[in-house]
């Protein structure tokens, strides 16, 4: 059985899922908004739309993002897409040729690694630490790849509440990253599903898009984590050359992002439901993050390490070297707990002793129990 099959079985405490926790979801309000959309908008709510979304929906989202501190420049357009994952594929198809290199954080979002493989490009992994991507290593590795005759086209980064570690890239590094991208004429893909619900507000961070003066940052967001993943609605802010290319792809593959989802997102922004979801998510997930950290301290074998997530849904835990988390997974599943083995997040096959756990989805009791079971299972392997 491969890991995706294993994770699809019925599991009591599923910490492998990418699902956001259900507490912040605003069932009643979204239901009211949906009803309102169809009544107020009439046929338009049930029709096709332009490929990149209705202009007034785009305008509402654009104003919302500007209000949140994202600064666009004169070359930029905001378009809607059928979700963040499709934004990644459309963008990679638009800018990457087979064999092109794309810088990724190491570890990085599995979905991005899969997409890189799909377009036959090559990942160039750069280590991270508590302050995000280690920019010191970045220029050296880019130069090396170029000297070896390769094209380095883009940097894919999830700088804020990074999936899978939850770290935030420091502003100094963000500025250096943009400088390097400018110097070597490299595009920057800023994947930002979590930027609006960071838990600890002590650390200030500036969106890479805001730091971008040359129109080379492709900013991606999604309503999945700030309203509801079921809407399948995302957005991209990028240079018009890129949004035009993506527009053609949406036209031929999807026609348009869901019309109903566009209206729901627009009304949800206007009626404060997005902000309410974000506020609830911050509170609930922060509490769960704290419970997770306490449980890790209590139950993980000594020598284990982890990042304290500053936001998002996930934590990344390193167990002692002798624990192979891929081999351990069937044992954990037998005991009713699932996680994602660390190898899936690395382009170079490392991470054999790491795991990603989703702390936002399980209840607090299940979270404690899940970590206890993982800890016990790991300790049995070490003995
Ligand atoms: C959740 C997530 C996305 C997008 O998810 P969609 O549901 O497809 O919008 C993109 N990137 C990262 C890092 C994510 O965690």
pLDDT band, residue 327 (cuts 50/70/90)? very high
Residue pLDDT, tens place only, 13-38? 999 989 999 999 999 999 999 999 99
**Confidence bin at 197 (pLDDT 50/70/90):** confident
Sole residue written with tokens 């890991």 = 3
Average pLDDT over residues 198-213: 90
List the structure tokens of 186.
């490299």
Q: Which residues contact 8 (CB under 8 A, 6 or more apart)?
A: none
The predicted structure's pLDDT at residue 273: 98
The pLDDT tens digits for 297-325 are 999 999 999 999 999 999 999 999 999 99
Ligand 1 touching residue 60 (CB < 6 A): no
Q: Examine the pLDDT at 59 and tell me if it is beyond 60.
A: yes
Residue 6 confidence (pLDDT) above 90:
no
84-101 burial, b at 16+ Cβ within 10 Å, e below that, comes to bbbbbbbbbebbbeeebb
Closest protein CA for atom 4 of ligand 1: 84
- pLDDT tens for residues 360-371? 999 999 999 999
Q: Determine the Cα–Cα distance for residues 257 and 87; give it in Å rounded to an integer.
A: 11
Q: How far is the CA of 35 from the centre of ligand 1 (A)?
A: 27
Q: Using a 6 Å cutoff on CB, does residue 20 contact ligand 1? A: no
Give the contacts of 40 (CB within 8 A, at least 6 positions apart): none
| Collapsed DSSP state (helix, strand, coil) of residue 123 | strand
Question: Is the pTM value of this prediction over 0.95?
Answer: yes
The contacts of residue 183 (CB under 8 Å, 6+ apart) are: none
Ligand 1 binding pocket includes 110 (Cβ within 6 Å): no
State the average pLDDT for the chain.
96
What's residue 2's pLDDT? 67
Report how far residue 317's alpha carbon sits from residue 354's, in angstroms, rounded to the nearest whole number: 5
**pLDDT of amino acid 40:** 95
Query: Is the CB of 109 within 6 Å of ligand 1?
Result: yes
Q: Is the CB of 50 under 6 A from ligand 1?
A: no
* Residues facing residue 337 across a β-bridge: 13
User: How far, in Å, is the centroid of ligand 1 from the Cα of 383?
Assistant: 38
**166: CA distance to ligand 1 center in Å?**
14
Scan for tokens 């650390």, then name that residue. 203
Verify whether ligand 1 is closer than 6 Å to residue 85 (CB atom). Answer: yes
Atom of ligand 1 nearest to the CA of 83: 9
Structure confidence at residue 181 as a pLDDT band (50, 70, 90): very high
Q: Is the CB of 224 under 6 A from ligand 1?
A: yes
Share of the chain above pLDDT 90, in %: 94
Report which protein residue has its CA nearest ligand 1's atom 2: 193
Distance 19 CA to ligand 1 centre (A): 10
Q: From 193, 218, 285, give the residue whose CB has the most ligand 1 atoms within 8 Å, as the site to mutate.
A: 193
Q: For atom 6 of ligand 1, which residue has the closest CA?
A: 84
Please indicate whether residue 320, judged by its CB atom, sits closer than 6 Å to ligand 1.
Answer: no
CA 289, 294, 295, 297 torsion: positive or negative?
positive
How many angstroms is it from 224 CA to the middle of ligand 1?
Answer: 7
For atom 15 of ligand 1, which residue has the closest CA? 163
Q: Is 191 in the pocket of ligand 1 (CB under 6 A)?
A: yes
Q: How far is the CA of 222 from the centre of ligand 1 (A)?
A: 7
Whether the CB of 221 sits within 6 Å of ligand 1: no
Phi, psi at residue 170, to the nearest 5°? -70, 155
Q: What is the pLDDT of residues 217-259, one digit of tens each?
A: 999 999 999 999 999 999 999 999 999 999 999 999 999 999 9
What is the SS3 assignment for 68?
coil
Catalogue the E-assigned strands of 172-324.
187-191, 217-222, 234-239, 305-306, 314-318
pLDDT at 3 over 70: no
Mean pLDDT of all residues in 112-131: 98
Q: What are the backbone angles phi and psi of residue 292, rounded to the nearest 5°?
A: -60, -50
Residue 229 Cβ inside 6 Å of ligand 1? The answer reads yes
234 touches ligand 1 (CB under 6 Å): yes
- The bridge status of strand 76-81 relative to strand 234-239 is antiparallel
């Amino acid at each position: 059985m491969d890991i995706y099959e294993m994770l699809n079985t019925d599991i009591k405490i599923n910490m492998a899922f990418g699902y956001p926790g259900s507490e912040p979801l605003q069932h009643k309000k979204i239901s009211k908004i949906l009803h309102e959309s169809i009544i107020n908008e009439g046929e338009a709510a049930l029709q096709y739309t332009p490929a990149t979304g209705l202009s007034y929906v785009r305008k509402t989202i654009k104003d919302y993002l500007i209000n949140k501190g994202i600064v666009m420049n004169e070359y930029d357009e905001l378009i809607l897409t059928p979700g963040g994952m499709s934004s990644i594929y459309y963008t990679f198809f638009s800018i990457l040729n087979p064999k092109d290199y794309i810088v990724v954080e190491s570890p990085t979002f599995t979905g991005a690694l899969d997409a890189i493989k799909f377009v036959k490009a090559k990942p160039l992994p750069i280590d991270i630490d508590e302050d995000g991507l280690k920019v010191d290593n970045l220029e050296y590795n880019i130069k090396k790849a170029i000297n070896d005759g390769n094209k380095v086209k883009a940097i894919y980064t999830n700088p804020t509440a990074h999936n899978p570690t939850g770290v935030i890239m420091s502003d100094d590094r963000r500025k250096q990253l943009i400088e390097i991208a400018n110097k070597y004429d490299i595009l920057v893909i800023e994947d930002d599903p979590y930027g609006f619900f960071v838990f600890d507000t002590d650390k200030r961070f500036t969106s890479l898009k805001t730091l971008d003066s040359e129109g080379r940052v492709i900013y991606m967001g999604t309503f999945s984590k700030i309203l509801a993943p079921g809407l399948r609605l995302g957005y991209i802010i990028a240079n018009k050359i890129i949004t035009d290319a993506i527009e053609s792809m949406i036209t031929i593959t999807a026609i348009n992002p869901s019309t109903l989802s566009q209206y729901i997102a627009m009304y949800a922004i206007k009626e404060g439901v997005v902000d309410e979801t974000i506020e609830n998510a911050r509170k609930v997930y922060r509490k769960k993050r704290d419970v997770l950290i306490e449980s890790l301290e209590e139950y993980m074998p000594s020598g284990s390490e982890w990042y304290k997530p500053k936001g998002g849904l996930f934590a990344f835990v390193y167990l002692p070297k002798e624990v192979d988390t891929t081999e351990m997974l069937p044992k954990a599943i037998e005991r009713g707990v699932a996680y994602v083995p660390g190898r899936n997040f690395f382009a170079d096959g490392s991470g054999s002793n790491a795991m990603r756990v989703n702390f936002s989805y399980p209840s607090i009791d299940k979270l404690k129990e899940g970590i206890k079971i993982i800890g016990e299972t790991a300790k049995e392997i070490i003995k």
